[in-house]
């Protein structure tokens, strides 16, 4: 009995395994330390960012100069110029308003004096009044009359008098380019004028004179009160324009802040991050500088 062996007549199987071996070549040099150079580059970049952030913390500005952001700085500078212009406009309007306020105060005083003068004239027009009483009234009348002249002459602010006839109007700036202006007409409240027709020599020494002056004083009183209304309207114009100009300046200032102001909350967080990054960079550079020392072990 013949047994056949398994595998007889067949070639034996051979399995070939190919192994890939990666060889890494490392060079050691004491002249060139690539790791230290790279670590120094990153550390220098961190230092530059840290200086920039510290400048933002110190100044409160993310764009403090043209070096930081030229285009943004140029826009901000133009807007700062406009804000400075509006400051001049507001100052001009404030001076004009003050001059008008002085004129209004003088006009109110003149109006009050005219009321007193009318009362004196009306009292002196009484035919039953004795001579002594009329003379006393006339003395009061002339004192009040002369007081009008004193008030009108002293109603001066910054060299401008709007009630003595020395000027016809007051003008103030209304735009930053100086092309638009706002004006208010002056009102002459001096005696013997178109508004106050009462003369500087008027008296109530007689009943006839007193009777005549009652109507004259009443007409002057109406004219002064009308002049006060005109001055008041001018004062409102100046005040409205000043308020508007100040709001524009404030709006521009806020806009400048949006352009150049630093967000100190974000800046603070970034500063801490860069400080940590700086410390890590210093450590990385120190480690890289120690690498060439391993060469010494090769010569032991």
Residues 25-64: tens digit of each pLDDT: 456 677 777 888 888 888 888 888 888 888 788 888 888 8
Q: What's the pLDDT score for residue 7? A: 46
Q: What's the pLDDT score for residue 27? A: 65
Tell me whether residue 205 is in a domain.
yes
Rounded Cα–Cα distance for residues 23 and 13 (Å) = 32
Tell me whether residue 207 is in a domain.
yes
Rounded Cα–Cα distance for residues 250 and 82 (Å) = 11
By residue range, what is the domain housing residue 140?
Answer: 70-260
Q: What's the pLDDT score for residue 195? A: 96
- All residues at 6 or more sequence positions from 161 whose CB lies less than 8 Å from its CB, including other chains: 103, 152, 153, 155, 167
Tell me whether residue 14 is in a domain.
no
Phi, psi of 196 (to 5 degrees): -95, 95
Number of independent structural domains in the chain:
1
Dihedral of CA atoms 265, 268, 270, 273 in degrees, nearest 10, equals: -130
Tell me whether residue 151 is in a domain.
yes
Q: Cα 170 to chain center, whole Å? A: 25
Q: What's the pLDDT score for residue 35? A: 81
pLDDT-above-70 percentage for the chain: 90
195, 164 in Cβ contact below 8 A?
A: no
Tell me whether residue 64 is in a domain.
no
Q: What's the pLDDT score for residue 26? A: 52
Rounded Cα–Cα distance for residues 280 and 287 (Å) = 11
Task: Give the domain CATH number at 103.
Answer: 1.20.1330.10
Residue 229 structure tokens: 């209304």
Rounded Cα–Cα distance for residues 293 and 291 (Å) = 5
Rounded Cα–Cα distance for residues 177 and 78 (Å) = 13
Tell me whether residue 56 is in a domain.
no
By CB atoms closer than 10 A (0-12, 13-18, 19+), residue 65 is: exposed
Rounded Cα–Cα distance for residues 30 and 49 (Å) = 31
Residue 143 structure tokens: 């004192």
- All residues at 6 or more sequence positions from 4 whose CB lies less than 8 Å from its CB, including other chains: none
Tell me whether residue 227 is in a domain.
yes
Tell me whether residue 238 is in a domain.
yes
Q: What's the pLDDT score for residue 92? A: 95
Taking Cα atoms as reference points, which of 138, 152, 156, 238 lies closest to residue 195? 152
Rounded Cα–Cα distance for residues 119 and 137 (Å) = 10
| Average pLDDT, 10 consecutive residues per value, the chain (300 residues) | 46 46 54 82 86 82 87 93 94 96 97 97 92 94 96 96 96 92 96 95 94 95 97 95 95 93 84 86 84 74
Taking Cα atoms as reference points, which of 23, 53, 30 lies closest to residue 278? 53
Q: What's the pLDDT score for residue 19? A: 45
Rounded Cα–Cα distance for residues 182 and 193 (Å) = 26
Q: What's the pLDDT score for residue 8? A: 46
């Amino acid at each position: 009995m013949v047994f056949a062996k398994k595998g007889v007549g067949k070639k034996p199987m051979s399995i070939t395994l190919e192994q890939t071996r990666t060889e890494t070549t490392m060079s050691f040099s004491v002249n060139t330390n690539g790791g230290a150079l790279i670590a120094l580059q990153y550390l220098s970049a961190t230092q530059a960012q840290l200086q920039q952030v510290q400048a933002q913390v110190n100044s409160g500005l993310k764009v403090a100069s043209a070096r930081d952001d030229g285009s943004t700085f140029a826009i901000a500078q133009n807007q700062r110029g406009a804000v400075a212009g509006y400051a001049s406009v507001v100052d001009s309007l404030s001076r004009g308003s003050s001059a008008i306020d002085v004129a209004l105060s003088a006009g109110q005083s003149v109006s009050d004096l005219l009321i007193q003068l009318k009362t004196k004239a009306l009292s002196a027009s009484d035919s039953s009044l004795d001579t002594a009483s009329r003379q006393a009234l006339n003395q009061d009348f002339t004192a009040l009359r002369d007081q009008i002249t004193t008030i009108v002459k002293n109603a001066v602010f910054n060299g401008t008098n709007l009630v003595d006839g020395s000027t016809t109007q007051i003008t103030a700036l209304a735009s930053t380019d100086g092309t638009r202006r706002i004006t208010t007409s002056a009102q002459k409240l001096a005696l013997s004028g178109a508004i106050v027709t009462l003369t500087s020599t008027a008296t109530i020494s007689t009943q006839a004179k007193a009777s005549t002056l009652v109507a004259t004083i009443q007409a002057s009183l109406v004219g002064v009160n009308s002049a006060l209304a005109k001055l008041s309207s001018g004062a409102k114009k100046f005040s409205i324009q000043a308020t508007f100009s100040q709001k524009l300046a404030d709006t521009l200032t806020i806009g400048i802040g949006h352009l150049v102001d630093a967000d100190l909350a974000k800046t603070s967080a970034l500063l801490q991050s860069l400080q940590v990054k700086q410390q890590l960079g210093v450590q990385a550079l120190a480690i890289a500088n120690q690498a060439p020392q391993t060469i010494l072990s090769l010569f032991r």
